[in-house]
């Protein structure tokens, strides 16, 4: 199981990409996240934002499966 998967139900990170030092410490301790995990999370957030922007520009609905 990946570190990010272990922590996925923690709802610690918002999709705007902001994170405080305390949030990062909690993720490191409780989720065993490392810098690679944070980089992957940031890439994921960027991709989701891009998909949402394209969906909005084209006036179409976007369905996201949580899995």
In a domain, 28, yes or no: yes
Residue 40 lies in a domain: yes
Average pLDDT over residues 2-16: 59
Give per-residue pLDDT as tens, 15-67: 666 788 888 888 888 888 899 988 988 898 889 889 999 999 999 988 877 65
- Is 66 within a domain? no
Number of domains in the chain: 1
Residues ≥6 apart with Cβ < 8 Å to 19? 13
R_g over Cα of the chain: 14
Residue 19, domain member (yes or no): yes
Per the structure, the complete domain to which residue 19 belongs is given by 3-57
In a domain, 20, yes or no: yes
Contact yes or no for 4/31 (Cβ under 8 A): yes
Cα–Cα distances (Å) from 32 to 22, 24, 57, 59, in that order, read 14, 10, 38, 39
């Amino acid at each position: 199981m990946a570190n990010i998967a272990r922590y996925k139900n923690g709802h610690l990170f918002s999709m705007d990409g902001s994170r405080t030092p305390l949030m990062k410490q909690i993720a490191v301790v409780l989720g065993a996240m490392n810098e690679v995990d944070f980089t992957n999370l940031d890439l994921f957030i960027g991709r989701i934002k891009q998909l949402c922007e394209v969906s909005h520009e084209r006036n179409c609905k976007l369905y996201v499966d949580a899995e």
